[in-house]
Amino acid sequence: MNTTASLHVTPPEALQPTPIRIAAAGFAPGESVRIGSRLVDDAGVTWAAHGDFVADSNGAIDLDSAPSEQGTYAGIDPTGLFWSMLPSPLADRNFMIQATERSHKMGVPHFDPVKTINVELTAHTGNTLRARATVRLTRLVDGIELLPVRDGRLRGTVLRWKDRSRPRGAIMSLTGSGGGVEMGYAPLLASLGYDVLSLAYFAYEDLPRGIASIPLEYFEEGFQWMQRELRPTRIAIQGASRGGELTLVLASYLPEYVKGAIAIVPMYTSSAGWDPAQGVAGPSWTFRGQDIPFAPSNNLRSLVDMKRLGDEAPYGYPATPGYRADLDRPEVRANAALPVELAGGPLLLISGKDDQMWPCSWGSDRVVDRLRAKGFAHPYRHLALDDTGHLTPTPNTVTSLSRAVFHSLANVFLACGGSPAGTALASRKTWDAMVEHYRIVFGEPAIKGQPS
């Protein structure tokens, strides 16, 4: 390796959403340099990206300002070497369909969710390696214990700060239609200084297999557990997709517990219940023995049709038209809209304008219309993201396969929408909005100086 050239990463280790600056120096002016990134996930799959750059008059390349002429991404994009990674061999939909790991079915590397991710960076001229560097993306900072929750019928995982000398805010994090425990956002939220309970509610251990007639009292027990075990200053909740729907349901029906909420790609109503074996039928949620009103799924295809059409379409089955037809009926607006104006704290809704799984941006606008009409007493915001679909990852995450997912329970190839580059760009706006929202709900983070 020629030691006159160098690669610099700033900072070399940081919480995953932190902006990372990559720069190279020591090349000849005008020299063509390929800068690449590489990681190996826990399943042994190699993911890699690269861009071809031209050194400036000082022999330097700064990815904040230098365009990639070609590669796995093109143009000026400081995060391109993170989001444009592809698995090797080159992925097509069969990589996701045939995957055994749920992460791979979602089109992202498979890692222990609290493990630090090591990304190797290299600079080549021709076939010659000129420089290398490593960046370590931390998912969970020191001082947090990860504990299983099995208390009565409650199931989940808590990320709890060991230092109990002062109170802090607590967040309940909820998964979407894939079930299990939510561990995409949870470790990062805990790293900001909050206690986080990732509460499973279906498709986990001895919990129900599907989302059907799940009592809100289960989550009420979860809030009471948080009050008893974590003693938080306040409780907030967040979730994405069906978890975003559930977030608005809980904020509306249990405002005495929920003092802030982030609903990510949600809908303005409750949806029909869903079971991977039986399909769509009945309510998703009940409360005090009564069904939560929901939008019947008259225009959604059967799972058999979804699978067939998903296999034929280039980016999977687009469910949005069917959902929109169901949700735009006057009787649904009149009878099934969630009473979000009853929420007990600030609300943040985050949507992708090109969501092909369901019309979350349109639905979030309906929520805002209702809040405005009802004179909602707390701050609220709808962050609608351009060139973004159903997936809203955190920054410095792989998004190269984000146009679709292979649903791990339904075994259907589903369209998500957006573009990989647009989804990556929106991830920064999403994370910054989330951090700011929790500052509003809880005050300053318990840890000073954490990246936002």
Q: Which residues are catalytic?
A: 241, 355, 390
- Rounded distance between C-alpha atoms, residue 98 and residue 111, angstroms: 18
Cβ contact 32:94 at 8 Å? no
- Rounded distance between C-alpha atoms, residue 297 and residue 324, angstroms: 10
- Shortest CA distance to 174 belongs to which of 203, 142, 145, 141? 203
DSSP per residue, 299-363: SPPPHHHHHHHHHHSTT-B--HHHHHHHHTSHHHHHHTB--GGG-SS-EEEEEETT-SSS-HHHH
Phi (first) and psi of residue 270, to 5 degrees? -80, 150
Cβ contact 229:299 at 8 Å? no
- Rounded distance between C-alpha atoms, residue 298 and residue 406, angstroms: 23
**Number of C-alpha atoms within 13 angstroms, CB side, residue 355?**
27
Q: SS in 3 state form for 153-165?
A: CEEEEEEEECCCC
- Name the residue type at position 409: L
What are the structure tokens assigned to 447, written together?
């840890």
Cβ contact 46:423 at 8 Å? no
What are the structure tokens assigned to 118, written together?
């090591």
What are the structure tokens assigned to 430, written together?
């999403």
What are the structure tokens assigned to 345, written together?
């704290």
Instruction: Identify the burial level of 13 via C-beta atoms within 10 angstroms of its C-beta, where 0-12 means exposed, 13-18 middle and 19 or more buried.
Output: middle
Cβ contact 445:194 at 8 Å? yes
- Rounded distance between C-alpha atoms, residue 245 and residue 82, angstroms: 30
Cβ contact 263:415 at 8 Å? no
